[in-house]
Amino acid sequence: MGKPKTKNEAELISEAMSVLGSRTSEKKRKSSAANSARSRFKPRPLLELACSCGGGGVLAVEAHKTTCPRGRALRRRVAAGQPLE
């Protein structure tokens, strides 16, 4: 396929290719679902995070300082509504 002769032809071809590329098929849907399932971030268990404030093995926001890595993770998960497991 040669180069389009006019700007109008280039715009038409670009629009057609955009429409064709954005169509979804069952194969695209399955591929997208598989890729997103494979790349999901798995958070580390809170007890594996280092505690630098002396809060120990307690999973309570009040027990850890804001400078503690475990305390920061606890606060982040509480704010996001995630379970503290």
What is the C-alpha separation between 47 and 19, in angstroms, rounded? 49
Decide: pTM greater than 0.75: no
Q: How confident is the model at residue 69 (pLDDT cuts 50, 70, 90)?
A: very high
CA dihedral 31, 37, 40, 35 (to 10 degrees): -10
Give the pLDDT of residue 73: 93
For the chain, list the strands marked E by DSSP.
Answer: none
Residue 55 CA to its chain's centroid (Å): 30
Give the pLDDT of residue 3: 67
